Structure 1
Amino acid sequence: MVNESVARAGERRRYGQYCGLAACLDVIGERWTLLIIRELLVGPQRYNELLHNLPGIGTNLLAERLRWLTRQGVVRQHPRLSGRGHTYELTAFGEELREPVLGLARWGLNVPHSFSAEDEVRPQWGVLAVEALIRKDQIPDVDESYEFLVDDQVFHIAVRGRQISVVQQGAEDAVLRVSTDAKTFVDIGSGRLSPFEAVVTRRLSLEGDQEALTRCSRLLGLLPGPRPTAI
């Protein structure tokens, strides 16, 4: 068997099936590849940042995976940050993986016994966790912003004209501010901990009115939403 850390593109085995899923897995089905893509969906990262945010990956394996993804047109070196060392970002083709990856993340939150107390967690994963949890059938009719501080990572959900965006910075006009740690955030998203339990145990703090909290919770699927009106 070819060792992962020294594998070369020419040694990669294909499924050899005339199928879109098989073609997808030929490109991103190797171990660690989707996690690299997860990191770059948050934003461009330098090589050392990727290495830090992917605990357990070897430096040779990360370099090989990045070379492969670059050859496949999924990743490129960031043209404006080349003076700061090797910085990588997704291409437009790579960005098309956002919805599939969010769907897989949403599915994974419901896998039984999928998390352990010893598992690594990073605050920036909260950005994608929020995107994965968003229920597009529960977008509020009001324009407002909800800010999240997860460890040292701040971002917010902006609702504008029933359109949603997740922005990697604070929101001065936020009607709701949520502060917690990364593990608590994942526990809430996976349903292992309710927001109420997190507040009572002081693992989460909230600033904002109850109506904004209800709208945000429904948007993230943490509360059942009103049923659509039958036509």
Structure 2
Amino acid sequence: MRNYRQYCGLAAGLDVVGERWTLLVVRELLLGPRRYGELLADLPGMGTNLLAERLKSLCRMGVITKDDQVYELTERGRGLADAVHALTRWGLSFLGDPSAEAVCRPHWGLFGLQAMADGSRVPGLDESYEFRIDDEVFHLRVAGGEARAERGPADRPAMVMTTDARTFVRLGSGSLTAAEAAAAGLLSVCGDPKASARCAKVLGLRREAA
């Protein structure tokens, strides 16, 4: 294991998760426990030997644990959530239009929602939004100044959005507006028209992007 040999919290953290692919493994596990084959399938481009090496290292450092062939984050590993979400928000500004070979998984949209949502942006709001992304469904619940994104349909959603994974990420990055996506037949939204604006505000999207 490489070591920066610097007595600094950032350097110590990078000693653990700074290797290529490591934070993407953490991203997958922040969404819940996964089996080895599931991780390999959702980390396209990562070879099986490298994945095995990264998992072994993270287990050794106490970031993840393995039980009955299922990997999940430890309490220490879950402590990475805020840092990984912040890096996700920061990285969105670097996303342009995806290349033809770029892979995009629907559940990465759920991760993006978790990273972007902030219920305090709309004080007093109490409603839910449902997102149907390719073959997956998840929702965002906003109440009490907090926002929580989870898998599954919403209970009485104020808005339902249907689109594909690439379009959803492009909406989040601001490289495509909702109006442009709808005009191209890539997006449909139903429910309270004002709910879409409130949802966009919770996600911190610019008015023109929404």
**Could you state the TM-score of these two structures normalised by the residue count of structure 1?**
0.85
Contact kept in structure 2, 1:140 and 1:219, CA below 8 Å: no
The corresponding residue for 1:101 is: 84
1:220 counterpart = 2:203: yes
Aligned length: 208
1:175 counterpart = 2:137: no
The corresponding residue for 1:129 is: 112
**What are the equivalent positions in structure 2 for 1:17-96 lying under 5 Å apart?**
17-78=6-67, 82=68, 86-96=69-79
1:77 match: secondary structure: strand
Structure 2: unaligned runs, 5 residues or longer: none
Distance 1:123 1:112, change over 3 A: closer
Offset from partner CA, 1:113-136 (integer Å, 9 cap, x none): 584332111111011111222245
The corresponding residue for 1:201 is: 184
How large is the Cα RMSD of the aligned pairs?
Answer: 1.7
2:132 match: secondary structure: strand
The corresponding residue for 1:163 is: 146
2:142 match: secondary structure: strand
Amino acid at match of 1:49: E
Contact kept in structure 2, 1:147 and 1:176, CA below 8 Å: yes
Offset from partner CA, 1:137-194 (integer Å, 9 cap, x none): 4135231100111111111111122221112111131111111100001111111100
1:88 match: secondary structure: strand
Structure 1 runs (4+) greater than 6 angstroms displaced: none
Of 154-163 and 110-119, the range deviating more from structure 2: 110-119
1:118 counterpart = 2:101: yes
Correspondence for 1:190 among 173, 184, 187: 173
Q: Percent identity?
A: 50
Contact kept in structure 2, 1:139 and 1:163, CA below 8 Å: no
Structure 1: unaligned runs, 5 residues or longer: 1-11, 225-231
